[in-house]
Amino acid sequence: MSTKISNLKFRMGLEASGLDKDTIDKMTATAVANNIVSPSTRVGKLDFAPKEVKEAWETFESIAKENMEEWNDNLPTGQEVNKVSLNCNK
Protein backbone atom coordinates (compact mmCIF):
# COMPACT_ATOMS: atom_id res chain seq x y z
CA MET A 1 0.00 0.00 0.00
CA SER A 2 1.41 3.37 -0.96
CA THR A 3 1.06 6.57 0.99
CA LYS A 4 -0.40 9.55 -0.80
CA ILE A 5 1.17 12.96 -0.49
CA SER A 6 -0.87 15.71 1.13
CA ASN A 7 -2.62 18.22 -1.06
CA LEU A 8 -0.33 20.85 0.46
CA LYS A 9 2.82 19.11 -0.81
CA PHE A 10 1.13 18.60 -4.18
CA ARG A 11 0.26 22.31 -4.31
CA MET A 12 3.81 23.27 -3.33
CA GLY A 13 5.16 21.21 -6.22
CA LEU A 14 2.81 22.91 -8.64
CA GLU A 15 3.76 26.34 -7.29
CA ALA A 16 7.44 25.52 -7.80
CA SER A 17 6.70 24.76 -11.44
CA GLY A 18 5.48 28.34 -11.93
CA LEU A 19 1.81 27.64 -12.69
CA ASP A 20 -0.76 30.35 -11.97
CA LYS A 21 -2.97 30.17 -8.85
CA ASP A 22 -6.20 29.29 -10.69
CA THR A 23 -4.54 26.37 -12.48
CA ILE A 24 -3.00 25.17 -9.21
CA ASP A 25 -6.38 25.37 -7.43
CA LYS A 26 -8.11 23.41 -10.20
CA MET A 27 -5.37 20.76 -10.43
CA THR A 28 -5.31 20.31 -6.65
CA ALA A 29 -9.10 20.02 -6.43
CA THR A 30 -9.13 17.49 -9.26
CA ALA A 31 -6.34 15.44 -7.68
CA VAL A 32 -8.18 15.34 -4.32
CA ALA A 33 -11.52 14.50 -6.01
CA ASN A 34 -9.89 11.65 -7.96
CA ASN A 35 -8.24 10.32 -4.80
CA ILE A 36 -4.76 10.91 -6.23
CA VAL A 37 -3.56 13.02 -3.31
CA SER A 38 -4.72 13.10 0.29
CA PRO A 39 -7.28 15.71 1.27
CA SER A 40 -5.13 16.37 4.34
CA THR A 41 -3.03 19.53 4.45
CA ARG A 42 -0.52 17.92 6.83
CA VAL A 43 3.09 18.20 5.81
CA GLY A 44 6.19 16.55 7.24
CA LYS A 45 7.81 19.30 9.28
CA LEU A 46 11.19 17.56 9.20
CA ASP A 47 11.25 18.14 5.43
CA PHE A 48 11.65 21.86 6.16
CA ALA A 49 14.31 21.49 8.85
CA PRO A 50 17.79 22.91 8.34
CA LYS A 51 20.24 20.55 6.65
CA GLU A 52 22.14 20.00 9.92
CA VAL A 53 18.97 18.85 11.72
CA LYS A 54 18.08 16.39 8.94
CA GLU A 55 21.64 15.00 8.92
CA ALA A 56 21.65 14.64 12.73
CA TRP A 57 18.30 12.79 12.64
CA GLU A 58 19.52 10.46 9.86
CA THR A 59 22.68 9.74 11.86
CA PHE A 60 20.70 9.00 15.02
CA GLU A 61 18.23 6.82 13.13
CA SER A 62 21.09 4.82 11.58
CA ILE A 63 22.85 4.33 14.92
CA ALA A 64 19.58 3.28 16.56
CA LYS A 65 18.98 0.65 13.86
CA GLU A 66 22.54 -0.66 14.13
CA ASN A 67 22.16 -1.05 17.90
CA MET A 68 18.53 -2.21 18.04
CA GLU A 69 19.38 -5.73 19.22
CA GLU A 70 21.47 -4.48 22.16
CA TRP A 71 18.85 -1.83 22.95
CA ASN A 72 16.14 -4.50 23.11
CA ASP A 73 18.37 -6.75 25.25
CA ASN A 74 18.66 -3.93 27.79
CA LEU A 75 14.88 -3.43 28.07
CA PRO A 76 12.75 -5.11 30.75
CA THR A 77 11.16 -8.43 29.77
CA GLY A 78 8.24 -8.01 27.42
CA GLN A 79 9.36 -4.61 26.14
CA GLU A 80 10.72 -4.07 22.65
CA VAL A 81 11.72 -1.22 20.34
CA ASN A 82 10.78 -1.87 16.71
CA LYS A 83 10.97 1.61 15.25
CA VAL A 84 12.39 4.96 16.26
CA SER A 85 10.44 7.99 15.06
CA LEU A 86 10.57 11.75 15.39
CA ASN A 87 7.54 13.85 16.24
CA CYS A 88 7.71 17.53 15.38
CA ASN A 89 4.96 19.27 17.30
CA LYS A 90 3.72 22.82 17.08
13 and 39 housed in the same domain: yes
pTM over 0.85: no
Number of domains in the chain: 2
Same domain, residue pair 3 and 22: yes
Question: Model confidence over 41-58: pLDDT tens digits?
Answer: 666 777 778 999 999 999
Closest residue by Cα to residue 4 from 54, 57, 47, 42: 42
Indicate if 49 and 38 belong to the same structural domain: no
Quick one: 52 and 71 in the same domain? yes
Domain match, 38 and 61 both: no
Asked if 37 and 7 sit in the same domain, the reply is yes
The verdict on 8 and 32 lying in the same domain is: yes
Asked if 38 and 54 sit in the same domain, the reply is no
Mean pLDDT of 55-64: 93
* Lowest mean pLDDT across 1-10, 19-28, 46-55, 74-83: 1-10
Residue 36 belongs to domain spanning: 1-43
